[in-house]
Structure 1
Amino acid sequence: MNWRPYFAVVWDSFHAAMASRVLWAAMLAIWILLAMLAPIGVREDYTTTFRFFDVYNGTRMKAMLAQGMVDPDQKDAPLGRIAAAMPEELSRKLQRVGEGDEVRIPLPMLTDALNELIDQDFKLATNAPDADEESGETSEKASDSRHWYDAQAWQETVRLRELRELDEKPAEELADSLIRRRARLRIEAALPGVFEARSARSVLLTYGTLDFPTGFEIDRTQFESLFNQFVIPTLVHWLLGFVLVFLGVLVTASMIPDMLQTGSLHLLLSKPVSRPALLLAKFVGGCAFVFLCVAQLVIGLYLIAGMRLEIWNPRILWCIPVAVFLFAVFFSVSVPAGLKWRSPIISIAAAGALAAICLVFSIIAGVFDTRIVQPERISGLVRAGDDLISVTNGGGLNRMDEDQQQWVPVIESKAMSNDRVLRPVAIDDDHVLTARIRNGKFNPFGSGSLDLIVLARDNDWKPQPGLRLPTATERLIPIGLTDKSGSGQTLAVNTADLLITQNRDILSSIGKQVKEESDDPDSDSDGGADGRSPRGQSADSIGAWLSTLVTMQGGATEEFVSILPRNVALSPPIRLAVPLDAADLNGESASESTRLLILNGSQLQQLVPDGDPTENVWQRDLTADLPRSDTPLPPVLAASNRYVVASTGDEVARVFTTKDLSEIFAGDWPDDIAPLSLHAVAEDLFLVVTTEGSGHLLRVVEKQGDEPGSENHPLQVVATLPVDEIETAMVEFTPDSSVVQLVVAHDVDRVSEFHVSSQADTADLSVVRSIEPKRSFWRRVDRYGIGLLELLTPQVLALGDTTAGMVSGKKAFIVGGGDMEAGEVVRYGIATPIISCGVFIAVMLTLSCVYFARSDF
């Protein structure tokens, strides 16, 4: 076959497009844009100032500063010294908060005041030698002004190793940025649980030789993730996807009508070419000039990213074929319109109509997904006896009706709800605990009081208010089993503390009569207050004018007692795990072997009871340091009686021994797994749920010898769950058997149960049953109606996700992963939009070729 005539047609089409003034105007605009972007650069420095997005717990910070302002006991403590140094206007507001008034204080106002303290410390540290040389008056004046930092006062705080090292060095040996960094760390030590963990170094944007006059200051890894997952895809999706595609449609709209002119068409058909091949050649020629424009812009962005931002990411070049592919979708509609009506205007109108249809269908699908599907997604599961209870993204709580095979609402899910329901936990076969935080989806404190919600079997699982929970509680963890005497405890975890209560007090709060433990005559309903930790004082042990501030900070209440040792400070995000010991598996009392593992920032810590566990005094006995991570992946932690598997989100798996927290492995996850959550299944078996929605069983196998190879990887994938789109998972242990049951929620609200035998080297995974609840009317409309519309129309708007996935190399990203639970997962649909658009292009071109071949022109 002679291809030269077809190449001649392609070249002719390309040459015709090159003659367009619109094309040259677009290319000029591209070069001007690249010239304007070229001076943008970055510089890296220490993280020295506070930004409003550094504050994880603004309500706690306001309450702590107010307490430091009004509590006489805090006058010479770090908290009181910082509060006393606040600006005059802010001091008046904090004073009113301390007196019980409701005062709204914007976060930027608080962070600006803290930044002023950093400036004061920097000026004092750099000017102190000169002041001493001139006279003693300056030094005396500084003493009278009562500088906020005092080395002796800060000895009582929990200081990071970085701060301890900086405090040991004199100021003259530190660079200016390190002096400011030291001041920031001192403030963080005085306000534990307020700020989210940040990297020691940050990236600042520059333009030429000037710093951007904005507060843009994030970690290097976060900056690269933001650039790859949002900046580049946004430029491609909007600038290339709409501006250049629209210009491309304008330029190419006349190609087909011009070809059908009498002289032009006869000349082309006089050559040894077929009509379908001629039309396809014209189509390729039209795409060629768009390729030229897109290639210039994308290659320019790639070079700017590499040379100015130090991000050499060759995946950016994937934007070129994606943008051309997007243009081909609209051009494939313009071609048949030009064949039928021979008018460039109608060709443009046809492409515009397709864009409007895709936009409308996308909006409709988005509304259904947001208001119908997302609120029903299961985010947590628990089983109490034979009953399965779930919590949803819409702030709802459901119970599975086994007979009807459907979820029965206990608390209604609501679309666009800002309420958050804590992941439920079972303290026995008849009682489930949870809590509903009003407006707590984006604020851990929410609004209003926070009461424990108790669901009881004998009350038909209806919600009953229980004990008052500490403010900002983010997770409940059962410790030990509850029997008829109400033994066992429940741990409430908030942003800055670990607080515990007795399960018998929980049952008593809903009117249950529980038998007191005969071997503890001094026990009472307050959970053993006499043995509380010094940090576990009840709120009513101080004046009522301070109890509100303690409550605002998430401190101890009358029912919940703090067990967090003084030498431990929580810094969000944190993860906790209770190792499952052999005593637990055999149904014995687990109180003597209770341990808590905390993955806190860059440190793994183990807490154990100091003496009798009912005395509520705990201590830290083991620690292990992990490198600090700045990636958007959430940290994960799980522990068995033998191994601890953890990751700080840096895509590195770390395996420790539970006995002494000695590290036995640090390396990549097998099969490029990106973990979202982790669960202990057996002493050497763990279930990992990935950001892509898949589930894998991993076995810890200690290496024998030094032979290389994947078979010697300490973490080996031994089984993969046969379900996708996993929302959450739960592990159930059977005391009298080696078989473990996995309960997995997937595909919005479906539930599948699996049996896992942990005896074999390769875990024996078997399906027990799968429950597919009946869909509501609107869910059926979404599945069959909206699904059909998405099937018939090209998913051009979803190509933005395709671009983000290709450029970042990720298949999902996490939104709001800083709290105790895993954040919302947004999964990229990389292949589906390409298939949808590819099928649409093929169908439209086939119809065009058939029409062109059979019509008489």
Structure 2
Amino acid sequence: MLPSPTRRCDDDGLFERRGNADAICFENDPGREALNWRPYFAVVWDSFHAAMASRVLWAAMLAIWILLAMLAPIGVREDYTTTFRFFDVYNGTRMKAMLAQGMVDPKQEDAPLGRIAEAMPEELSRKLKRVGEGDEVRIPLPMLTDALNDLIDQELKLAKGTVDEEAESKDDSKEASVSRHWYDAEAWKETVRLRELRELDEMPTEELSDSLIRRRGRLRIEAALPGVFEARSARSVLLTYGTLDFPTGFEIDRTQFESLFNQFVIPMLVHWLLGFVLVFLGILVTASIIPDMLQTGSLHLLLSKPVSRPALLIAKFVGGCAFVFLCVAQLVIGLYLIAGLRLEIWNPRILWCIPVAVFLFAVFFSVSVPAGLKWRSPIISIAAAGALAAICLVFSIISGVFDTRIVQPDRIAGLVRAGEDLLSLTNGGGLNRMDEDQLQWVPVIESKAMSNDRVLRPVAIDDDHVLTARIRNGKFNPFGSGSLDLIVLARDNDWKPQPGLRLPTATERLIPIGVTEDSGSGHTLAVNTADLLITHNRDILSSIGKKVEDEDNDTAEDGDESSDGRSPRGQGSNSIGAWLSTLVTMQGGATEEFVSILPRNVALSPPIRLAVPLAAEDATEDISSETTRLLILNGSQLQQLEPDGDPVENVWQRTQVADLARSDTPLPPVLAASSRFVIASTGDESARVFEGNELNEFYVGDWPEDIAPLSIHAVADDLFFVVTTEGSGHLLRVLDHDDASEQRLQITATLPVDDIETAMVEVAPDATTAQLIVAHDVDRISEFEVSHQSQSADISLIRSVEPERSFWRRIDRYGIGLLELLTPQVLALGDTTAGMVSGKKAFIIGGGDMETGEVVRYGIATPIISCGVFIIAMMLLSCIYFARSDF
């Protein structure tokens, strides 16, 4: 027989205590279901209500509304890109040398270069003359860009008919002494003008607005100084505050502005404002929740309700998080509305900042809870959360130092195979060779952490020789400092670096052309910021003492000019002395050993991508016609160059041109060419496929499965290998016309490796198989064989090599890795926020003209898992302690 209940259920579903006996509620009580949940909601509300009573909360909410009110007047407006900023200059040394040449070279007097140089201010003219005379003169970039902006102002004044009055009011100025305007239509006909400039030149000046007149002036200067400026969008976004404009130095295009806002501004606000300020205030306000709960009388009252101790503690925890949710939601929703209404960026992914910020607070609150249980002191609870923040910060700094100085310098950035030897380029500017016996990397050129030097991607000209170069202080400046010599690595010299020919200034990439198994055959192309220059491989080998038989007895003698008036050994027709030759060299022009092959009607505009098509699968042994065709993705234009005879002694011609849609996305442009297809992208989410030597458009559409290509390599006539920004690798097939599918690009296979750093493809002589070598996970190598005889390509793993790590790499993996495992990765939640808000999984930082730059991949899931496991572990320990302790 059941004993009489010692307390009963009232009408509201709550228990009434009678004495100290156990509470019982009969199963046939109709209010039993409500009794299981309503007490917990009441506890959550009590915690939330207690936090709402805090003065800190109201002060924080007032600060949020004041901040939103201060940000509300920020807006944007679009206008034409009309002025030059110092960050627009890609090649400052070239611009200085070109202006100096225009100043001192008599043949440039009536050319665009000379007319612009003549219009320079007096102080700048003196410095440019000294440069032309061979003196080392430092000219700041802002000084050069300000002078060019003055020319744009002169263009506007002339168009408005106010230039005469202005000149008369400034008789002591340089402008008053110049008898002619810097622009002349006849002189500019010899320049390579963009379609936008041609259209503006055809329009009557009176029909142009002030912005368009200034835009036309900027484009004219860009045409006169090719290869100097970064490619910029025609329109820029300017920030405004109310009716006032921010400084014009902030000009960026619309796409870049949205990317900057989503990937940096919003994550920074979450990381610092929400992650530190609001989280710290939240800890201050909620630190007393647990100690207050343990006060005499309060705990007894709570335990008198039908709740378990663990559930009571979790309810208190949820109540504290609900308070922070209220504050964060106000700020994030306010930012979302300001971004949409004022900045015209309606990105609902911004709202992901709310759960991320609350999740970040939960990490620190989960430490405050057990501290409050143990010591029943709000101060100690705050100190515990602060100690966790300090530990996470210190561990993050240590991890960052190890990653920057230990891991990143070893990360592979390029691969090349010479015969049976595999060599790799590292991010630290080093060059390593794979020791096949020990299966480890042997340094050829030492890597250096935080080095400002840049080593060019190595290329093999035969099975026994590899070419590269080291540019001193060239990591952020393509010109670097000092002379640039080709570095030749020879097998018979144990791959030790040997200086070779003098390279053109600012060389950024080497490309072998027409190489066969014969030693010294073929040519090497040097690509710099403004030119394409070529030399014989036999001359390269001769520079290191190799005797190579010269089979070509019909080559022109040194000094004989080619058909276009240029000397095949770099002394252009405008070189009138050693001092002028030096200026041409400073611009990255031809040298004694390298000959320019760039047609006069072509101007390189960074960023640039080049590709040499694969030989046809049915090609004969004479593959010169296939390998000397060169494709250039030049700005938003795909151009095909072919030599008219010998690649060195004759001028190359532009045989085909295809216009691509201009893209301002942060993705890198990609280009690859087989003997049949060419795949190109200017960096947006669309792929362009061209067929044949005529570059007939074959397909325009999205990349399959929304992949974001980082680089692309030709494997066969219709097969390509794509490395994505996420670090995955896919084989991509171009489907034939007879296929019914509208999607002409199809992923046929995916490599079973992640975090791919770089890749290279070697096509077998029979063209039915190819070897794919990928570097992944810092310095690990995996080799695959790709068989493409059937419609679906087959991939088989040949081997995977994980080189032995150095002592400090082992410390990083097992020591720092253990610390990261044991501590929540709260600082990495900034990457999580950036990935969620931008919708991207990676972004590109910097990089040279020929390279893709440094790829930063967001760790979206890892920080969430790390912090989630930490919260669960701390709350589990707190619940166990609370359930087993006598309070």
TM-score w.r.t. the length of structure 2 is 0.93
Structure 1: runs of 5 or more not aligned: none
Residue in structure 2 matched with residue 316 of structure 1 by the alignment? 350
Partner of 1:735: 765
Q: Give, in whole Å, the separation in 2 of the partners of 1:722 and 1:553.
A: 45
Cα pair 1:532 1:617 within 8 Å, conserved:
yes
The more displaced of 116-125 and 330-339 is 116-125
Q: Distance in 2 between matches of 1:334 and 1:768?
A: 53
Query: Does residue 811 in structure 1 map to residue 845 in structure 2?
Result: no
Q: What residue is the counterpart of 2:801 in the other structure? A: 771
Which of 530, 534, 538 lines up with 2:570 in the alignment?
538
Give the C-alpha shift of residue 539 in structure 1: 4.2
Q: Residue type matched to 1:426 in 2?
A: A
Q: Please report how far the alpha carbon of residue 592 of structure 1 lies from its aligned counterpart in structure 2 after TM superposition.
A: 6.7
Q: Does 1:799 pair with 2:859?
A: no
What amino acid is the match of 2:182?
W
Residues 568 and 648, structure 2, Cα contact 8 Å, conserved in 1 = no
Distance apart, 1:817 and its partner CA: 3.9
Aligned residue identity for 1:436: R
- Which deviations, in whole Å up to 9, do the C-alpha atoms of 1:222-276 show, x marking residues without a partner? 0000000000000010000000000000000000000000110010001110000
Taking the aligned partners of 1:693 and 1:214, their CA distance within structure 2 comes to 37
Q: Give the CA deviation at 1:542.
A: 3.5
Distance, in Å, in 2 between the alignment partners of 1:287 and 1:189 is: 59
* Residues 462, 520 of structure 2: 8 Å contact kept: no
Residue 67 (structure 2) pairs with residue 33 (structure 1): yes
Which amino acid in 2 is paired with 1:782? D
1:846 matched to 2:876: yes
In structure 2, C-alpha distance between the alignment counterparts of 1:535 and 1:834, rounded to whole Å = 63
Matching of residues 236-315 of structure 1 within 5 Å: 236-315=270-349
Say if 1:528 and 1:614, in contact at 8 Å, map to a contact too: no
Q: Which residue of 1 aligns with 2:29?
A: none
**Alpha-carbon offset, residue 587 of structure 1:** 4.1
Aligned CA distance change for structure 1 residues 547 and 175 (closer, same or farther; 3 Å): same
Q: 1:322 to 1:125 in 2, by over 3 A?
A: same
Q: Is the 8 A contact 1:634 1:818 kept in 2?
A: no
> Cα distance 1:791–1:36, how it changes in 2: closer, same or farther (>3 A)?
same
What are the superposed Cα offsets for residues 185-220 of structure 1, whole Å, 9 maximum, x if unpaired? 000000000011111111000001111134110010
Separation in 2, partners of 1:535, 1:665: 42
Q: How far apart are residue 402 of structure 1 and its match?
A: 0.3
Identify the match of residue 520 of structure 1 among 543, 553, 577. Answer: 553
Unmatched 5+ stretches in structure 2: 1-32
The alpha-carbon deviation at position 584 of structure 1 amounts to 9.2
Pick the structure with greater CA Rg: 2
Alignment deviations for residues 726-746 of structure 1 (CA, whole Å, 9 cap, x no partner): 110001011135110011111
2:20 corresponding residue in structure 1:
none
Tell me the distance in 2 between the aligned counterparts of 1:533 and 1:712. 49
Equivalent of 1:47 in 81, 90, 97 = 81
Aligned to 1:450: 484
Deviation of 1:784 (Å): 0.5
Residue of structure 2 in register with 1:836 after alignment: 866
Q: 2:336 touches 2:351 (CA, 8 Å); kept in 1?
A: yes
Selected match of 1:820 from 823, 834, 850:
850
Amino acid aligned to 2:134? G
2-side partners of 1:591 and 1:45: how far apart? 47
2:752 partner SS: coil
The equivalent position to 1:575 in structure 2, one of 609, 626, 630, is 609
AA aligned opposite 2:734: V
Residues 1:407 and 2:437 aligned together: no
- Contact 2:556/2:649, CA 8 A, preserved across alignment: no
Contact 1:591-1:613 at 8 Å conserved across structures: no
Tell me if the contact between 1:633 and 1:676 (Cα under 8 Å) persists in the aligned partners. Answer: yes
Q: In 2 relative to 1, CA 487–583 (structure 1 residues): closer, same or farther, beyond 3 Å?
A: farther
CA–CA distance in structure 2, aligned partners of residues 33 and 277 of structure 1: 38
| RMSD, aligned CA | 1.9
- Is 2:528 the counterpart of 1:498? no
> In structure 2, what is the Cα distance between the partners aligned to 1:77 and 1:569?
17
Q: Which has the higher mean CA deviation after the structures are superposed, 218-227 or 608-617?
A: 608-617
The alignment's TM-score, normalised by the length of structure 1, stands at 0.96
Alignment correspondent of 1:370: 404
Q: Following the alignment from structure 2 to structure 1, what is the Cα–Cα distance between the partners of residues 132 and 876?
A: 74
Q: Which residue of 1 aligns with 2:713?
A: 679
Q: Residue 750 of structure 1: which of 759, 764, 780 is its match? A: 780
| Cα distance in 1 between the residues matched to 2:659 and 2:625 | 27
Report the CA distance shift for 1:505/1:583 in structure 2 as closer, same or farther (over 3 A). Answer: farther
Match of 2:647 among 613, 638, 651: 613
Asked whether the equivalents of residues 424 and 432 of structure 2 are also in contact (C-alpha less than 8 Å), the reply is: yes
**Separation (CA, whole Å) in 2 of partners of 1:271 and 1:429:** 82
Moved more, 536-545 or 256-265: 536-545
Residue deviations 1:609-664 (CA, integer Å, cap 9, x gap): 12333423101010000111101100000011111000000111111113211212
CA contact (8 A) 2:637 2:657 kept: yes
1:226 aligns with 2:276: no
Contact 1:745 1:752 in 2 (8 A): yes
Residue pair 1:727, 1:745 contacting (<8 A) in 2 also:
yes
Q: How many Å apart are 1:703 and its aligned residue?
A: 4.7
After superposition, what is the alpha-carbon deviation per residue over 1:300-347, rounded to whole angstroms, capped at 9, x for unaligned? Answer: 000000000000000000000000000000000000000000000000
SS of the residue aligned with 1:194?
coil
2:506 is aligned with 1:472: yes
Aligned to 2:24: none
Equivalence for 2:752:
722
* 1:175 aligned onto 2:205: no
Alignment partner of 2:130 out of 87, 92, 96: 96
Aligned residue identity for 2:196:
E
Are residues 399 and 280 of structure 1, via their aligned partners in 2, closer, same or farther at CA, if it must alter by over 3 Å?
same
Deviates more, 1:608-617 or 1:24-33: 608-617
**Matched ranges for 1:356-395 at <5 A:** 356-395=390-429
Question: 1:119 is matched with which residue?
Answer: 153
User: Counterparts of 1:784 and 1:269 in 2: how far apart (Å)?
Assistant: 46
Secondary structure of the residue aligned to 2:469 is strand
2:673 corresponds, among 630, 634, 639, to 639
Q: Confirm or deny: 8 A CA contact 2:560 2:568 kept in the other structure.
A: no
Amino acid at match of 2:402: F
Q: Kindly provide the CA deviation profile for residues 576-613 of structure 1, in whole angstroms up to 9, marking residues without a partner as x.
A: 01111228965434157621111011110000112333
Q: 1:312 to 1:703 in 2, by over 3 A?
A: farther
2:55 aligns with: 21
SS of the equivalent of 2:698 reads strand
Aligned counterparts, 1:67-216, within 5 A? 67-127=101-161, 145-216=179-250
The residue number in structure 2 matching 1:354 is: 388
What is the Cα deviation at residue 712 of structure 1?
A: 3.9
1:257 & 1:143 partners in 2: Cα distance? 82
Q: Report the Cα distance in structure 2 between the residues aligned to 1:478 and 1:331, rounded to whole angstroms.
A: 60
Q: Which of 677, 684, 700 does residue 666 from structure 1 map onto?
A: 700
Please tell me the residue identity of whatever aligns with 2:566: P
Structure 1 position 657 matched with structure 2 position 691: yes
Q: Which of 600, 611, 618 is the equivalent residue of 1:566?
A: 600
Deviation of the 1:521 alpha carbon:
3.7
